A and B are shown apart, each in its own frame.
Chain A
Amino acid sequence: MGDPSGLLVSIIVRQSGMQTTVQDLGRSMWQHIGVPVGGAMDNAAHRIANLLVGNDDEAAAFECALGGVALQFNQSALVAVTGRDISASLDGTPIPAWHPFAVHRGELVVLHAGCRTTIAIAGGLDVPVVLDGRGTSLRAAFGGWHGRALQRDDSIPIGLPTPLADRMSADLSARHRIVADWGASAAMRPPYASKPTLRFLPGPEYHLLTDTSRDVLLGDTFRIAPDSDRMGFRLTGHTLSLVTSREMTSCGVTAGTIQLPPGGAPIVLMADRQTTGGYPRLGDVIAVDLPLLAQLRPGDSFRFAPTSLVEAQAAYCAREATLRHAARALNLRFAAGADGSR
């Protein structure tokens, strides 16, 4: 690869945290043979982080569960950190989330705390493409970095930054800045909350809930159970029951599907969900609200609220439009030939 300095173009994992994986936006086209879609749990944070460092939004980046992650850079790079409740530093100096910053060779980026944090690097993580994706499929142990979560001393290669990223970096250094004075505005970020309300579309077995259970689902708060993972969030606080048990055959499920296993404790399927499921389907958390759920920690609570397909698609299209607009705005601001200082 074109590494002018002749040095290894990579990042060394000094501390791997609870679970740090390489993720992209998933591999949807292999579901017919049972391959989980996977990809970033909070795909909005992932895409925005990539935009901030001049990448395509599906470029591979780190996803860190909670904190305790330290990454040493073997080369200079433009980096962005996104997610909820983030505490991060660059060689000991605190740095803000949602703003790109310049890292120089040898410096250490530390994520002290967070929920489900994306760390994106200009050029993206240059891991092999497997089944049309670079994300880690933990269950089947392929993709990402050797199909597993990162460990201490792993050395992850970085791709070539885009011309846009180069212009962003040049702009920072011309103005003697480490952290950019621009970033993702609050309006652009997902509206994270410590106790969010998640909208859902009622599913085929929703009408089989007992009256009491429906009232609980719509009115009470649920908590994230400790044994939740990238496959699904188990909910505690209430058990729900159906008026009749229904003979189910397995069929397709999606990220956000609210399943009701026999025990009565609902599960919300997340990024690494299996492709099919055989439990009653109470509904599906809408796509734009999944990032809010992805950023909850075990013990955190939230509420459900029903919505309609029309509203859900309107919200989805509005978010997509916002992200596309942001990408265009960045391209204009750092257009080739512009001096970059506005």
Chain B
Amino acid sequence: MSNTIHGVGYPGVAGQMKPGTRVSRKDKTAPWATGNVGNRLSGQIRHRPPAPHPSRRVQEAMARRRHTAAYCPAVWPYSLVPLGERALTIDLSGVDASSARALVESLDARIRDDATPGVTGRVPAIRAYTVHYEPMQLSSDALQAYIASVMASLMIGTTPPRVPIVIPVCYGGEFGPDLDVVANTHRITPHAIVAAHTAGEYTVAMIGFLPGFPYLEGLAPALHTPRRAAPRTSVPAGSVGIGGTSTGIYPCSSPGGWQLIGRTPRTLFSAHRTPPALLAPGDVVRFVAIAAEEWATHRDSS
């Protein structure tokens, strides 16, 4: 996990198209230029990938190469699911978990940079990606053709290791009213919960639910705790919680059902700052325990 991308120029496994090859959208002979017409009522548009899914042998070969080379395009299995008449979700549940995050990141970067007229919003998720669009500017056929062309040339590679973003947390007490509940659930001391939570390294899987709310992957199984039976009507901003297998931070005061184990003085989201969200998908996060007296010294200056 320490190499950088060497993607461009790597001959694709499928062999027809080099990664990064950009085909003119006016090229009527391109396979994606003929748009798919969805099955109207089933709500699901099945998309046939341009090349067959790679065999196990090829997948293993690609996995070996991943340390030095970009992953091949043209083989990502996906389907398109209309989300009303002004949005489309690219369902990537067929992509293996180890590639999904890098794929979604790469897809998001591409769609952001292309800035196709008529694309009005983008929502990266864990194994799905939603594109919002304006039908008066971009027909759903044209959007599907565009997505097909993007999917056919997407590459992922090993990304350089990211420097963890350290989040200071006051655990327990009024800051983490559920710390004892979590400790009792696992029959260990609150101190051991804090030790386990601060020992972990977490990756931002996606941002959603609230502005800047990070869904963090990497919670130790020993800390997995069901949500509260009755959600709180108001969770304070900065609260660090555990919800099932995820841990996360509430950027603003909100109703919420996660078990609250602490609170951070950092500002996760501010509409008046650039960038507004402290964390982005793919970021690596570590927690460090601080004492209540240190709270003020860790606040964001603004």
Contact = CB atoms under 8 A, between A and B. Distances in A.
Given A34-B211, A251-B126, A252-B87, A276 B121 contact: no
A29 B252 CA distance: 20
Contacts of B42: 202, 207
Contact of B125 (A30, A143, A252): A252
- Chain B at the A interface: SS class: loop
Contacts of A5: none
A201 interface: yes
A274 B210 contact: yes
Interface residues of B, number: 52
B12 interface: no
Given A139-B252, A313-B85, A250 B280 contact: no
Contacts of A287: 84-86
Given A202-B41, A309-B40, A250 B208 contact: yes
Given A139-B210, A140-B269, A207-B42, A33 B276 contact: yes
Interface in A228-275: 249-257, 274-275
B13 interface: no
Interface string A272-288: 00111000010111110
A220 interface: no
B84 A34 contact: no
Contacts of A206: 43
Contacts, number: 161
B211 A203 contact: no
A257 B83 contact: yes
A256 B123 contact: no
Given A142-B272, A252-B128, A313-B135, A36 B140 contact: no
Interface string B105-148: 00010001000000011111111111010011001100000000
B150 interface: no
A31 B123 contact: yes
A130 B272 contact: yes
Contacts of A316: 85-86, 135-136
Nearest to B208: A276
Contact of B89 (A31, A251, A306, A317): A251
A254 B128 CA distance: 14
A28 interface: yes
Contacts of B44: 204
B271 A131 contact: yes
Interface string B251-265: 110100000000000
A91 interface: no
Contacts of B269: 33-34, 140
A24 to B, nearest CB: 14
Nearest to B82: A309
A251 B130 CA distance: 7
A253 B271 contact: no
A33, A201, A274: residue with the most chain B Cβ atoms closer than 10 Å? A33
Contacts of B210: 34, 139-140, 274
Contacts of A253: 83
Interface in A69-120: none
A276 B125 contact: yes
Nearest to A206: B43
Contacts of B38: 309
B206 interface: yes
B81 interface: yes
B72 interface: no
Given A254-B86, A286-B84, 4 more contacts: A28-B120, A202-B42, A254-B84, A254-B87
7 contacts: A32-B121, A34-B269, A140-B269, A207-B43, A252-B132, A255-B84, A309-B85
Interface of B: 38, 40-44, 81-87, 89, 91, 108, 112, 120-130, 132, 135-136, 139-140, 206-213, 215, 251-252, 254, 269, 271-272, 275-277, 280
